[in-house]
Amino acid sequence: MTNFDTVKRNLEARGYAVRVFPTGKEAADYLAASLDGKSVGFGGSATLEALGLYERLESRGEVVWHWKWEDPAAARRAAQATDVYLTSVNALAETGELVNIDGAGNRVAATLFGHEKVYFAVGRNKLVPGYDEAVWRARNVAAPRRARQLGKKTPCAVKCDRCYDCKSPERICRGLAVLWGPMMGMAAEVLLIDEDLGL
C-alpha cells in the first residue's frame, strides 16, 4: 500500500480535509454518500470518469458535466453555479501543492471560487516529491496524454513525450493553477486513492 502519511500531513497543515481510500470504489462510495442533496459540477477528469460518479449521482439531483452534456459550453457555465465541484489534479506534490493545467479555464476557475466545497480525487500515480516535479508532471505527462486522447495535432500529442510550449491553435494547456491551500470561503477535501487513476 502507498504511504500517504507525508502528503496527508502536509495537506492538513495547509488547511485541507484529507481522506485515504484503498480503492476508487471506496472513494466513490464515500462521495456518493457525502453529496446526497447537493448540486454537483464536474471538471474534466479521467479519474472521475474511472470512478463512475456521474452515473451514480445523476439520478439523485442536479449533476453537471461538460463531458456528458450535449452543449459543453452551457455545461461549463452551469457547473460554476453548483453547490460542490468534483475534480482531480494533474499532479500533487508530497509537500502539499495541487497543480492543474486547463484549456478552457472552467476546471481551474471552479477550484478557485464559487462553491461551498471542492473535492479533489487523486490517484497514487499523480503523487510526486515536490512542487517542481508537480509542475513538470502536469506539463510533460498529463497534458500530452490528454492532447493525444483528444486527437490534437500538437507536438506533445504527436510525440507524447513532453511539452513543447507550442503556439498551436489546438494547444490545450493554456493556464496553470497552483493551490497552496484551500481558497478563502471555500472548503476543500482531498481524497487520496491507492490506485492508478486518470492521466
- Domain with 13 in it: what CATH number? 3.40.50.10420
The structural domain count of the chain equals 1
* Domain assignment of residue 150, yes or no: yes
Distance, in Å, from the CA atom of 190 to the CA atom of 138, rounded to the nearest integer, reads 18
pLDDT at 197: 97
The residue among 79, 140, 50, 108 whose CA lies nearest residue 99 is: 108
Alpha helices by DSSP H, 20-137:
24-34, 46-51, 53-57, 72-79, 106-112, 131-137
pTM for the full predicted model: 0.96
Q: Quick check: is 173 in a domain?
A: yes
The average pLDDT across 108-133 equals: 97
In a domain, 198, yes or no: no
Residue 130 grid coordinates = 515536490
Please list the residues that pair with 172 across neighbouring strands: none
Taking each continuous run of H as one helix and of E as one strand, the counts in the chain are: 9, 10
Mean pLDDT of the chain: 96
Least confident residue range of 18-22, 126-130, 153-157: 153-157
Q: Can you tell me the mean pLDDT for 52-81? A: 94
Q: What local confidence, expressed as pLDDT, does residue 61 receive?
A: 84
Grid cell at residue 86: 468534483
In a domain, 29, yes or no: yes
Is residue 90, in this structure, part of any structural domain at all?
yes
Q: Is the model's pLDDT at 112 over the cut of 90? A: yes
Structural domain range at position 102:
5-193
pLDDT for 60 beyond 90 = no
Is 199 part of a structural domain of the chain? no
